């Protein structure tokens, strides 16, 4: 089965062939740790997680690198405001980031290199660019990349630099550059930087914004690697600049497949810190939404489509996940029975194959979920009507475990061993009352349970308790 990904460079779906047959090397742009990441940011990280899990599901080993940008204008600015050393300041948000990744069940990458740990590598790269005459030193001691030396500049974003209205929104006081579009490889130290500085052949300073990704991807993945991803806002200038630096320095192709994730929008507008229309994972959890519900919302739209974030979507996710939860609970019950199989279960594999094919087709999650829902529905029918055997129930459960290797949202745990005794007693009371047809008593017990936050359902074997 071919895997196809939409490559931003060619703007079309291409059959995916990694450089080595069984290993995929991918670089995923990570957070700038100056604040809590918001769920718009996490949309990108979840897209990367789905990509990674899909590749693994389809049989590849994955080596993923995600950078942590822990030195830049904003981290310096905000650590100064907080009167906290940069490293201490950023650590807080690095920790928070990993905490959120864990909550959202995002698999860990193999490497999380921090920019501040790789300054020597960046300096080496800048040296090469200067030696090859792609970079120049300005009067203030900063080093810039000269895009006029790199004719391919703009090939990813399809930007023709001749046609840009430079000046309209570019600050003209960057007089020291040859051309306004030239970007910094190394920034000379200024007073605003405080004690954030590294020594370099060009004097005290710090790396430019883009160089870390070139240097660190090269270190961990090589000069050419398979996939590079990020939010679509990284496409220009960030990824364009990475290409320029890397390809100029190495004289070889930087990346084979570029994949970009669309925005999360709120009321039609991009969720961003500058607009202030953002929610963090912790905000939503504080409002009573679960990480699974958040994850479901973020995975359930195709990564190249804008996703409109609403609380209604979170509520829809809640209902959907509830459905799965009770489905798994029915399956778990069926597994415990000794019922004989009455039906053929070939269709389970058909559903698995459709799921797989959909994901292999540029991560078509909607198609994939359709077969997940379809398997749920078909199985539910069988659970209701003729009954299914324990073996088949197990087969279906295994299929869902397989789906979950990518989706990462299902909770298969059996409800609940940890029911408070008070709750269990109430349910027993109700059960006994029903047996003697004392429905008034039964209903009153049920009402009490509801008030305590529990739902009781009658099933052939007795009753089932669920938390609201």
Residues 332-371 that bind RNA (CB under 7 A): 364, 366-367, 369-370
Rg for the chain (alpha carbons), in Å? Answer: 27
CB of 230 to RNA, least distance (A): 4
CB of 421 to RNA, least distance (A): 21
Q: Is 377 in the site for RNA (CB under 7 A)?
A: yes
Provide the 8-state DSSP code for 32: B
Exactly one of 24, 44, 68, 299 binds RNA (CB under 7 A); that residue is 44
Question: Contacting RNA (CB under 7 A), which of 383, 388, 409, 423?
Answer: 383
- 155 touching RNA, by CB under 7 A: no
181: contact with RNA by CB under 7 A: yes
Q: Which residue in 219, 32, 15, 249 sits closest to 111, CA to CA?
A: 219
- In whole angstroms, what is the distance from residue 468 CA to residue 457 CA? 12
Nearer to RNA, 197 or 235 (CB): 235
What mask of x and - would describe binding to RNA in positions 69 to 108, judged by CB under 7 A? x--xxx----------------------------------
Q: Minimal distance in Å, beta carbon 200 to RNA? A: 21
| CB of 136 closer than 8 Å to CB of 148 | no
Does 205 participate in binding RNA (rule CB under 7 A)? no
Least distance from C-beta 219 to RNA, angstroms? 20
Q: Which CB sits closer to RNA, 252 or 324?
A: 324
How many Cβ atoms from other residues are within 10 Å of residue 11's Cβ? Answer: 9
> Rule CB under 7 A: which of 421-450 touch RNA?
434, 439, 442-443, 446
Residue 328 has φ and ψ, to the nearest 5°, of -65, -35
Between 22 and 427, name the residue whose CB sits nearer to RNA.
Answer: 427
Query: With contact defined as beta carbons under 8 Å apart, do 207 and 122 qualify?
Result: yes
Of 83 and 169, nearer to RNA (C-beta) is 169
Query: How many residues touch RNA (CB under 7 A)?
Result: 90
| Least separation in angstroms between CB 251 and RNA | 25
User: Distance between CA atoms of 348 and 229, rounded to whole angstroms?
Assistant: 33
Answer for the pair 115, 212: CB distance below 8 angstroms, yes or no.
yes
Report the residue number, 131 or 312, with the smaller CB distance to RNA.
312
Q: Could you give the CA distance from residue 378 to residue 63 in angstroms, rounded to a whole number? A: 37
Q: Under a CB-based contact definition with an 8 Å cutoff, are residues 426 and 393 in contact?
A: no
| 159 contacts RNA (rule: CB under 7 A) | yes
d(CA 249, CA 160): 22
H and E: helices and strands count for the chain: 14, 15
């Amino acid at each position: 089965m071919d895997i196809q990904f939409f490559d931003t460079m060619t703007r079309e779906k291409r059959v995916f062939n990694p450089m080595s047959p069984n290993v995929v090397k991918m670089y995923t742009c990570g957070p700038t740790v100056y604040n809590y990441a918001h769920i718009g940011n996490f949309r990108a990280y979840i897209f990367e997680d789905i990509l990674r899990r899909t590749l693994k599901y389809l049989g590849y080993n994955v080596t993923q690198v995600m950078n942590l940008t822990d030195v830049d204008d904003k981290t310096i600015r905000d650590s100064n405001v907080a009167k906290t050393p940069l490293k201490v300041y950023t650590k807080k948000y690095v920790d928070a980031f990993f905490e959120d990744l864990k909550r959202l069940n995002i698999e860990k990458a193999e490497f999380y290199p921090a920019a501040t740990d790789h300054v020597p590598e960046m300096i080496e790269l800048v040296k090469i660019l200067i030696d090859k005459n792609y970079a120049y030193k300005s009067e203030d001691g900063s080093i810039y990349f000269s895009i006029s030396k790199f004719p391919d500049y703009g090939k990813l974003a399809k930007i023709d630099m001749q046609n840009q209205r430079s000046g309209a929104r570019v600050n003209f006081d960057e007089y020291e550059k040859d051309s306004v579009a030239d970007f910094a490889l190394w920034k000379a130290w200024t007073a605003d930087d405080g004690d954030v500085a590294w020594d370099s052949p060009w004097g005290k300073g710090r790396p430019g914004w883009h160089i870390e990704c070139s240097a660190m991807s090269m270190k961990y993945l090589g000069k050419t690697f398979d996939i590079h991803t990020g939010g679509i806002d990284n496409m220009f200038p960030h990824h364009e600049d990475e290409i320029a630096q890397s390809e100029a320095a190495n004289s070889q192709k930087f990346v084979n497949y570029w994949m970009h994730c669309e925005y999360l929008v709120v009321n039609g507008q991009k969720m961003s810190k500058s607009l202030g229309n953002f929610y963090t994972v912790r905000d939503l959890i504080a409002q009573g939404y679960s990480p699974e519900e958040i994850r479901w919302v973020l995975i359930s739209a195709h990564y190249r489509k804008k996703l409109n974030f609403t609380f209604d979507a979170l509520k829809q996710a809640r209902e959907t996940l509830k459905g799965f939860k009770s489905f798994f609970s029915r399956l778990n019950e069926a597994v415990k029975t000794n019922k004989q199989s009455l039906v053929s279960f070939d269709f389970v594999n058909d559903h698995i194959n459709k799921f797989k094919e959909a994901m292999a087709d540029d991560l078509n999650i909607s198609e994939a979920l359709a077969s997940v829902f379809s398997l749920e529905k078909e199985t539910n029918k069988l659970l209701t009507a003729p009954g299914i055997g324990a073996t088949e129930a197990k087969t279906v459960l295994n299929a869902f475990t397989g789906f979950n290797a990518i989706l990462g949202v299902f909770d298969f745990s059996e409800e609940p061993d940890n029911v408070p005794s008070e709750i269990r007693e109430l349910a027993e009371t109700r059960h006994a009352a029903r047996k003697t047809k004392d429905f008034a008593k039964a209903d009153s017990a049920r009402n009490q349970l509801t008030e305590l936050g529990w739902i009781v359902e009658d099933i052939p074997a007795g009753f089932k308790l669920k938390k609201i």
